[in-house]
Amino acid sequence: DASQLKEEILAKYPRKVAKKRAKAMVINDPNESQEIGANIRTVPGIITQRGCTYAGCKGVVLGPTRDIINLVHGPIGCSFYAWLTRRNQTRALEGDPNFITYAFSTDMQDENIVFGGEAKLKDAIREAFDTFHPSSIGIFSTCPVGLIGDDVHAVAREMKEELGINIFGFSCEGYRGVSQSAGHHIANNGIFKHVVGNDDRERTGKYQVNLLGEYNIGGDAFEIESLFEEIGVTLISTYSGNSTVESFAYSHTADLNMVMCHRSINYIAEMMEEKYGIPWFKVNFIGAESTAKSLRKMAEYFGDPEMIAKVEEVIAREMLKVKAVAEAVKPKVEGKLAMMFVGGSRAHHYQDLFTELGVRVVSAGYEFAHRDDYEGREVLPNIKIDADTRNIEDLVVTKDEEKYRDDLAEKKAKLEADGYEFKDYKGMMPDMQKNSLVIDDVNHWETEKLIEFYKPDMFCAGIKEKYVVQKYGVPLKQLHSYDYGGPYAAFGGAINFYKEMERMLGTDIWKLVDTPWK
């Protein structure tokens, strides 16, 4: 069983490493509260799946936003490898700016490392301004910037003054946190400080919402947007798939924040509630059942009978299509085994899609999530704050007496009294089967042992794992970029995913793989 596998994995490690890794592997019991070691530094020498803090800040959170110039201060490689490989899509309106197809970099050279790069950064900002006339520019620090001490914030202030547009910097040097998770937090802080609340424009809809933590990979956000539109909900802003900085600036005019990826964006949800009184709850639009549940929860929040009826109508109509495909695919894939090791929320969300097909998830884990994403938010007060976390600024946010929405706070209190849950993420572990193996920050050695042990029919991870796993004769589905596929969100996305699983699980080609070491 799983405990034997865990022993075998740990036996290979030096004693100290084994002790560390033992805490990151939990044999799951959904009815017990179990602690997992998460958001802890990777042991040097281990091949981790993780990315860096700059990746989380520039690549993940700000990267999908199209009307800002995201200028990377650093060596060209940092920009090149963040250049649309995440497959985040956007749809600019006619005549509107869209800068995400570009890679902006100061292209630091040895000379700048030795003598400082601030002058080059200023020139780059002026050049970007003269060429593109953006309304805002973000500056992203890569590792050398922190090492040589360039002050990107001072440069931002100076250039903001000179050019008269919004310019702000991020101290998101790659090494600043233990993973990209630190970069999410830094990005959340920066957007909140420099953008949110800048534009108090008039309401345009009766029911206004923000969708937080949806990045439009493979067009996921488009699927969700069209549902909202049909239901009569005005989507002010998505953080940050198919988004604009312009919309972030008035996103505080929303009546509700729905959080899709808890890990990357819970900070903004919390800060917006503190300052403006906008309640938030967790949603999930991956999986047909989860989508239905999330839509119902939204309709219940607004309590408009017309919206409630519309939601039911949409669910009934879409479920017919979804069920037809699921019923055709399920017999072909039912009982197969899957495992998924992805980022900070998809390893949880995608289990729903597999469950809908009768595929069993035997092992799963996040790369960089925190204990609350595994065990639920009730453990938040018990999470030890270590030096790596303390490194990241925790903004102190206070109530905005003028803009605070007392009406929403009252609405929330009333709903809560009826058992409606806000801020209620319960994490991945309670949703996983008993004795499944939960692993944080899995590495290549552990991946190989997992494959040998479980012989899974499907492995879900990313590009760094893909070809190693496939050489074992196991198909790998990238749950970061979706390979070339998607969207997989909402009802239409569920259908796409079922078909993809039918294609990948139904072929015998993987049995023909002759590994070089056999």
Residue nearest to ligand ICS (CB): 343
The sheet carrying 476-478 orders its strands as 25-27, 437-439, 360-365, 337-341, 458-461, 476-478
User: From CA 255, how far away is CA 240, in angstroms rounded?
Assistant: 18
Q: Which of 60, 82, 152, 269 binds ligand ICS (CB under 6 A)?
A: 60
- Residue 56 as a binder of ligand ICS (CB under 6 A): the answer is yes
List helix spans (H) across 81-142: 110-115, 118-132
- Give the residue carrying structure tokens 């959340």: 188
Q: Is 475 in the site for ligand ICS (CB under 6 A)?
A: no
CA angle 102, 107, 113 (to 5 degrees): 155
Written as one letter, the residue type at 87 is: R
Distance CA 267, CA 186 (A): 10
Quick check: 280 and 259 in contact, CB under 8 A? yes
CB of 346 to ligand ICS, least distance (A): 4
Residue ranges in 488-517 that form contacts with ligand ICS under rule CB under 6 A: none
Nearer to ligand ICS, 120 or 263 (CB): 263
Segment interacting with ligand ICS, rule: CB under 6 A, options 144-152, 212-220, 224-232, 490-498: 212-220
CA distance 311 to 292: 8
Q: Is 264 in the site for ligand ICS (CB under 6 A)?
A: yes
Pairing of strands 68-73, 337-341: unpaired
In the complex, the smallest distance separating the C-beta of residue 191 from ligand ICS, rounded to whole angstroms, is 14
- Token readout for 474 is 């196991």
Q: List the one residue from 480, 485, 486, 490 that touches ligand ICS (CB under 6 A).
A: 480
Please state the closest distance from residue 302 (CB atom) to ligand ICS, in A.
26
Local structure of residue 56 (DSSP, 8 states): I
CB of 40 to ligand ICS, least distance (A): 17
Q: Which residues from 292-351 bind ligand ICS, rule CB under 6 A?
A: 342-346
Cβ proximity of 278 and 256 under 8 Å: yes
Which residues are part of the catalytic machinery?
Answer: 52, 55, 86, 184
Judged by CB under 6 A, which stretch of 188-196, 209-217, 435-443, 487-495 contacts ligand ICS?
Answer: 209-217
Number of DSSP helices (H) and strands (E) in the chain, helices first: 21, 14
- In angstroms, what CA-CA distances link 442 with 16, 42, 366, 399, 461? 17, 10, 8, 41, 11
Complex with ligand ICS: residue 100 or 261, whichever CB lies closer: 261
Q: Does 287 bind ligand ICS (CB under 6 A)?
A: no
215-244 binders of ligand ICS (CB under 6 A) = 215, 217
Please give the residues from 406 up to 445 whose contact with ligand ICS meets the rule CB under 6 A.
none
Q: Which is nearer to ligand ICS, 73 or 348 (CB)?
A: 348
Quote the least distance from Cβ 301 to ligand ICS, whole Å. Answer: 23
Question: CB-wise, 56 or 144, nearer to ligand ICS?
Answer: 56
- The minimum distance between CB 215 and ligand ICS, in angstroms, equals 4
The dihedrals phi and psi of 232, each to the nearest 5 degrees, come to 90, 30
Residue 156 or 286: which CB sits closer to ligand ICS? Answer: 286
Choices 118-126, 261-269, 282-290, 438-446; region in contact with ligand ICS by CB under 6 A: 261-269
Kindly state the smallest distance separating residue 503's Cβ from ligand ICS, in Å. Answer: 21
When the beta carbons of 231 and 261 are compared against ligand ICS, the nearer one is 261
Could you tell me the smallest distance in angstroms from the CB atom of residue 161 to ligand ICS?
Answer: 33
Out of 28, 39, 42, 180, the residue judged to bind ligand ICS by CB under 6 A: 180
Contact 40, 178 (CB under 8 A): yes
Q: How far apart are CA 325 and CA 333, in angstroms?
A: 13
Q: Tell whether residue 460 is a contact of ligand ICS (CB under 6 A).
A: no
**Which of 54, 472 has the CB closer to ligand ICS?**
54
- Nearer Cβ to ligand ICS (58/330): 58
The rounded Cα 357 to chain-centroid distance in angstroms is 24
Residue with tokens 């036996």: 11
**72, burial (CB in 10 Å: exposed 0-12, middle 13-18, buried 19+):** buried
Q: What mask of x and - would describe binding to ligand ICS in positions 114 to 153, judged by CB under 6 A?
A: ----------------------------------------
Q: How far is the CB of 371 from ligand ICS (least distance, A)?
A: 15
Q: Treating both helix axes as pointing N-terminal to C-terminal, what angle do 288-302 and 490-506 enclose, rounded to 10 degrees?
A: 170
Longest C-alpha distance within the chain, in Å?
70
Name the residue with tokens 């050049």.
127
Interatomic CA distance for residues 308 and 305, integer angstroms: 5
Run of H or E residues at 146: helix 143-148
Map residues 76-95 to x or -, x wherever contact with ligand ICS holds by CB under 6 A.
Answer: ----------x---------
263 binds ligand ICS (CB under 6 A): yes
Q: Which residues bind ligand ICS (CB under 6 A)?
A: 56, 60, 86, 180, 213, 215, 217, 261, 263-264, 342-346, 480
